[in-house]
Structure 1
Amino acid sequence: MPAPEGFDYTVRGPEVVITHHGRRATVLRGPAAQRFLDDVGDDGDAGAQELMARVTGNYRRGNERMSRNHPRNAGR
């Protein structure tokens, strides 16, 4: 699965605005924004891209079609 890319974030006062390819994906406020900033400070750019993908919910790519055909999911 390819690494996430195209994410960027901007700090506006108490908010963190996360964009994906220039479009706003989410806005974090309060404790969530502070946790995000603490975590981003520890990682490099690749870690920050993965974190932003996880925060925005844009991280499930690639295996959805395969799981549809799994015997466990038959009849769904």
Structure 2
Amino acid sequence: MPRPSGFSYAQFDDGSVTITHRGRAAGRLRGARARKFLAEAAAAEPQLVMARWTGAYKHGNERAAREHPRNR
């Protein structure tokens, strides 16, 4: 499975975090959720963490895509 890419995040003075994907806003976290995200992103692969937190992670069609003739 290909690794997600193109994610980045910015932390603001009020403690909120905005996650962007290829320059477009994908999510905004505030309070305890933002702190939990920052701790997780520091400890693990940030691209995977951001993909999971924004919901852009394993949509269920990976098996079908793998078996498509174009991907063989």
Asked if TM exceeds 0.5, the reply is yes
For residues 49 and 3 of structure 1, the distance between their equivalents in structure 2, rounded to whole angstroms, comes to 8
Shift of 1:39: 1.0
TM-score (norm 2): 0.78
In the comparison of the two structures, how many residue pairs are matched? Answer: 63
Unpaired runs of 5+ residues, structure 1, are: 67-76
Kindly state the Cα deviation for residue 61 of structure 1 after the two structures are TM-superposed.
4.7
Q: Which runs of 5+ in 2 are unaligned?
A: 65-72
Aligned to 2:39: 38
Compute the RMSD of aligned alpha carbons.
1.7
**Structure with max Cα Rg:** 1
Runs of 4+ in 1 over 6 A off after TM superposition: none
The alignment's TM-score, normalised by the length of structure 1, stands at 0.74
Distance in structure 2 (CA, Å) of the matches to 1:2 and 1:65: 13
For residue 55 of structure 1, give the secondary structure of its aligned residue in structure 2: helix
Q: Kindly indicate whether residue 14 of structure 2 is the aligned counterpart of residue 16 of structure 1.
A: no
